[in-house]
Amino acid sequence: MHKFLDKTPHSQQQVILEDEHGTWTKHLLQQASNELSGVFAELEGECVAFQMDNSAAWIAVDFALNDSNKIALPLPLFFTRAQCEHALLESGASWLLSETLNSDNVLSKTINVCGRTVYVYQLSSKPAAYFAGTRKITFTSGSTGTPKGVCLSDLTMQQVASSLCERLVLKNPKHLCLLPLAVLLENVAGVYAPLLSGGQVITPSLNTLGYLRSQLQDPEKILMCISQFEPHTLILVPELLQLLVAACSAGWQAPESLVFIAVGGARVDESLLVKARNSGLPVFQGYGLSEAGSVVALSKVAPQSEGVGDVLPHLEYKIVQGQLFLRGPLYLGYLNGPEHSPEHWLATGDLVRQTESGLDIYGRLKNQLILSSGRNVSPEWPEALLLSQPGVAQVVVFGDAKTHLVALIYAASQLSDDQLEKHISLINSQLPDYARIGTWHRLAQPLSTSNELLTSNGRPKRDVIARYYRTELTALYCDNAELQA
């Protein structure tokens, strides 16, 4: 946000930010941001990428890039090397800020940001064509190996944050960041909105929270952080909500300070919401997409209400043949693509119903899967890689609203189970962790048009296949749970 801290109602000596290196008042954070702005103003080129852990330094860099009129490109730590290279190439980024020494790039300087050492690398890049007003480019985890960059303006991000403040009416909230700050949802709703409400943001490192890349490896750590910091608000993906519900069932006591837990990023199973409410967790559903600057709708009524609530006040919406369309201050367009005008309607690809309590999201037009972690995966991506092995004839990947992907595979008899397992392991090593196949089932018979599992042109009928192999798919998730136990 340009001059973002000037818009917050904090006093200069009020602590507004905390991480493992200390606490920062509004004055100290402004001072750190101003010093960085001077450094960034000397960097030639418009776009600066940064790949850093959750911290006060991340937020200071974010603010300073905006104040110095640079285009910020946050890169999640869970991105693969190929995804980072694609984002850097597409964005035309001239500089990369990292906390890791990297001999592949030219080190220009080393700076200290809020107690952390940050290396500034100069990149050899071809300039990109940016939309006027672009201040942030966000690459989602991507439904394929080459995700699109969503170009956002200050106006869009400020409108989302302001609308969230208006919707929630929480005074001086203490927010604990549990998702990576490079994820737009936590960046806008977990930093900008609480600060605009006069609140405080706490940003433990991802390792302190128990993460390894995008996977939560040590759930106890995240529970300890929630208990230690006693936040008022949290933002969760369904997978984290499952963790909290399971912990409550096992005797963990959520702090009484919690007044609002937003859950979004993927479709939330109604039975999970019921369990959460019965555990005393103040859970409210939300819905959003990067093209809208993160949050589109959020419930403000009692947690017993179904659906994702009403669309935020700065947006218009309509439902045409079940699909949700949005209009207003949305994204400027996709990087290196056509511009999106605020007067034009955006087709979201999501199927919705209008209810008394707002919108109910019940499906997607396309095949894209959204895991319970909130990561988007097109099944065609791992399917295509798995089909690269001679003898592998058919692959259908599933995993919508689940913790991981599973696959139904038909392969020639000459390919043994051990060979197939080795092939799957090899392909998994080429994929980010959220796009890997967790468990798989070998089909005895191929899918065909005669059993109505394929279309006339040979494409899988995914819904029909899911029903036909329901028992096998259920067993795959049970098998994985047993392996992880």
What is the Cα Rg of the chain in Å? Answer: 23
| Across 161-170, 201-210, 445-454, least confident range | 445-454
Helix segments in 197-338, DSSP class H:
219-229, 238-249, 270-278
Integer Cα distance of 331 and 386 in angstroms:
34
Integer Cα distance of 402 and 405 in angstroms:
7
Domain segments of the chain: what residues? Answer: 4-364, 379-484
CATH superfamily for 379-484 is: ANL, C-terminal domain (3.30.300.30)
Q: Which one, of 8, 1, 7, lies nearest residue 66 by Cα?
A: 1
Integer Cα distance of 32 and 130 in angstroms:
28
Of the two residues 267 and 325, the one the predictor is more confident about is 325
Determine how many CB atoms are found less than 10 A away from the CB of residue 207. Answer: 14
* Arithmetic mean of pLDDT over the chain: 90
pLDDT by residue (tens digit) across 24-55?
999 999 999 999 999 999 999 999 999 999 99
Of the two residues 266 and 452, the one the predictor is more confident about is 452
Integer Cα distance of 227 and 45 in angstroms:
44
Helix segments in 169-216, DSSP class H:
184-187, 193-196
SS (H, E, C) 85-143: HHHHHHHCCCEEEECCCCCCCEEEEEEEECCEEEEEEECCCCCCCCCCCEEEEEECCCC
Of the two residues 146 and 21, the one the predictor is more confident about is 21
Phi, psi of 87 (to 5 degrees): -65, -45
| Across 73-87, 378-392, 470-484, least confident range | 470-484
Integer Cα distance of 304 and 12 in angstroms:
40
* Range 310-338 average pLDDT: 96
pLDDT by residue (tens digit) across 73-130?
999 998 888 889 999 999 999 999 999 998 888 899 999 999 999 999 999 988 899 9
Integer Cα distance of 86 and 106 in angstroms:
18
pLDDT by residue (tens digit) across 338-359?
999 999 999 998 889 898 889 9
Say yes or no: do domains 4-364 and 379-484 share a fold: no
Domain covering 4-364 in this structure, CATH number: 3.40.50.12780
SS (H, E, C) 9-58: CCCCCCEEEEECCEEEEHHHHHHHHHHHHHHHHCCCCCEEEEECCCCHHH
Phi, psi of 194 (to 5 degrees): -60, -40
On whether the CB atoms of residues 185 and 179 are closer than 8 A, the answer is: yes
Integer Cα distance of 257 and 243 in angstroms:
19
